[in-house]
Amino acid sequence: MYSFMDAKLMAKQLRQGLAERNIAVSHSDCLELVARQFGVANWNILSARIDAAAAELAPWVMPEGWLDSSLNREGYFRMGIDPERPGCAIIQSTPLADHQPLDQFGSMAQIIAAEPYRGGAVRVACQLSCKNLDGAATMWLRLDDARGKHLQFENLLDRPGVAVRQTEGWKGFAITLDVPNTAESIYFGFLVSGRGTGWARNFTVERVDATDAPDRRKPYRFDRPTNLGFSA
């Protein structure tokens, strides 16, 4: 799906399409038509908006040990180490997300081996905050077996009133899941849905006593928790 960042390409394709129908329209006129499609008065206004948005699309450095686990990677979010907040990870919607009718989400994750936690439980905790977020920010935890089957999954978005929303200061989160003997990998991270900015800091991962001990592939997993403080 095109966004306003693709306006020049859209104008080129519009001109070509019209030429195939023997309708001659200049490139500048096509730019003006595309600008109207995006709800602005003229191309100069849209061009200035594109230039301003380019800076907001520049990527941040991803902390070692972490990866982009977003379901959709169409440029709606950028994420990494916050250059203005040492020790904090940031996920922020980009101007491209403003034109999406449906909520998207951006997610940062880490994958570790489940072996050290089998027969007990794993507790993952962190702190989250947000600013001007029309969706929500929360953490999540998942256990997979060797074939990639999801054994357990907890997403705090499913709990009413738990996730941070709009503009909130630092708030503590924690999830504990029993780790069955068939668990192979542990996935954990935080996500931001909607439009706005979310931050995470002070992740901890520890083995705790199981609450209910049932017997119950990824190439990027780590043998132990890595870089939980988001250092450069």
Structurally, what CATH architecture does the domain formed by 67-208 represent? Sandwich (2.60)
Q: Is the pLDDT score of 219 beyond 60? A: no
Give the up-direction half-sphere exposure of residue 146: CA atoms within 13 A in the CB hemisphere. 3
Which residue in the block uniquely carries the two structure tokens 């499609």?
37
The alpha-carbon radius of gyration of the chain (Å, integer) is 22
The pLDDT score that the predictor gives to residue 159 is: 81
pTM of the model: 0.71
Q: What is the mean pLDDT of residues 47-71?
A: 83
Q: How does the average pLDDT of the chain come out, rounded?
A: 87
Q: How confident is the model at residue 100 (pLDDT cuts 50, 70, 90)?
A: low
Name the residue among 94, 88, 91, 83 with its Cα closest to residue 108.
91
Instruction: Please list, in sequence order, all residues whose beta carbon lies within 8 angstroms of the beta carbon of residue 142, skipping any fewer than 6 positions away.
Output: 150, 152, 153, 154, 186, 187, 188
Q: How confident is the model at residue 97 (pLDDT cuts 50, 70, 90)?
A: confident
More confident residue, 198 or 8: 198
Residue-wise pLDDT tens digits, 159-208: 888 899 999 999 999 999 999 999 999 999 999 999 999 999 999 999 99
Structure tokens at 96: 């491209």
The pLDDT score that the predictor gives to residue 216 is: 40
In sign, the C-alpha dihedral spanning 158, 162, 167, 171 is: negative
Percent of the chain whose predicted confidence (pLDDT) is above 70: 89
Measured between alpha carbons, how far is residue 127 from residues 89, 92, 165, 190, 207 in Å? 11, 17, 14, 10, 19
- Please check whether residue 197 is in contact with residue 163, taking contact to mean a CB–CB distance below 8 angstroms: no
Could you give the CA distance from residue 122 to residue 127 in angstroms, rounded to a whole number?
A: 17
Domain ranges of the chain: 4-56, 67-208
Could you give the CA distance from residue 78 to residue 95 in angstroms, rounded to a whole number?
A: 10
Could you give the CA distance from residue 174 to residue 124 in angstroms, rounded to a whole number?
A: 6
* Angle at alpha carbon of residue 230, lines to 220 and 203, rounded to 5°: 85
